Amino acid sequence: MARAARAARPTAPRRREYWGHGDLAGVVPAPGGRTYWFTSHASDLGSWADGEDRWRSSPAVDVTEALEETRRVFSARPDRAPEVLDALAGATPESTLAQRILEAPPLPRLVHGRAVLVGDAAHAMTPNLGRGACEAMADAHVLARELGRTEGDPARLGPALARYEARRLPAAWALPPVSHLLMRTALARRGRRARDATLRGVGRLVGLVSLTRGCATPSPS
Ligand SMILES: Cc1cc2nc3c(=O)[nH]c(=O)nc-3n(C[C@H](O)[C@H](O)[C@H](O)COP(=O)(O)OP(=O)(O)OC[C@H]3O[C@@H](n4cnc5c(N)ncnc54)[C@H](O)[C@@H]3O)c2cc1C
User: From the CB of 84, is ligand 1 less than 6 Å away?
Assistant: no
Note the pLDDT of residue 13.
63
Task: Tell me the pLDDT band of 2, cut-offs 50, 70 and 90.
Answer: very low
133 lines ligand 1 (CB under 6 A): yes
- CA-nearest of 96, 118, 99, 97 to 107 is 118
Distance CA 208, CA 216 (A): 14
Is pLDDT above 80 for 214?
no
* CA dist 48 → 44, 63, 67, 80, 119 (Å): 9, 16, 20, 31, 24
Lowest mean pLDDT among 11-20, 99-108, 125-134: 11-20
Return mean pLDDT, the chain.
87
Judged against a pLDDT cut of 80, whether residue 58 lies above it is answered with no
Report the alpha-carbon distance of residue 75 to residue 117 in Å, rounded: 42
Tens digit of pLDDT for each residue in 79-96? 888 989 999 999 999 999
99 CB under 6 A from ligand 1? Answer: yes
List b or e across 55-92, with b for residues whose CB sees 16 or more CB atoms inside 10 angstroms.
eeeeeebebeebbebbeebbeeeeebbebbebbbeebe
Give the pLDDT confidence of 112-152 residue by residue, as tens digits: 999 999 999 999 999 999 999 999 999 999 999 999 999 99
Residues 46, 49: Cα–Cα separation, whole Å: 9
Write down the pLDDT at residue 218.
41
How far apart, in whole angstroms, are the C-alpha atoms of residue 187 and residue 203?
19
Task: Enumerate the β-bridge partners of residue 17.
Answer: 26
Domain ranges of the chain: 2-99, 104-221
pLDDT at res. 4: 46
- This prediction has a pTM of 0.84
Question: Rounded to whole angstroms, what are the CA distances from 37 to 61, 117, 146, 213?
Answer: 18, 30, 37, 32
Q: Is 120 in the pocket of ligand 1 (CB under 6 A)?
A: yes
Pocket test for ligand 1, best of 24, 131, 135, 180 (most atoms within 8 A of CB): 131
Predicted confidence band at 203 (pLDDT cuts at 50, 70, 90)? confident
Q: Which of these CATH numbers, 3.90.1150.10, 3.40.309.10, 3.50.50.60, 1.25.40.10, describes 104-221?
A: 3.50.50.60
- Give SS3 for 29: strand
**CATH assignment of 2-99, among 3.90.180.10, 3.40.47.10, 3.30.830.10, 3.30.9.30:** 3.30.9.30
Q: Which residue has the higher pLDDT, 6 or 77?
A: 77
Which comes out higher in pLDDT, residue 133 or 60?
Answer: 133
Q: Matching CATH topology for 2-99 and 104-221? A: no
Sequence-distant (6+) residues with CB within 8 A of 187 are 19, 22, 23, 24, 40, 41, 42
Mean pLDDT to the nearest integer, 182-201: 89
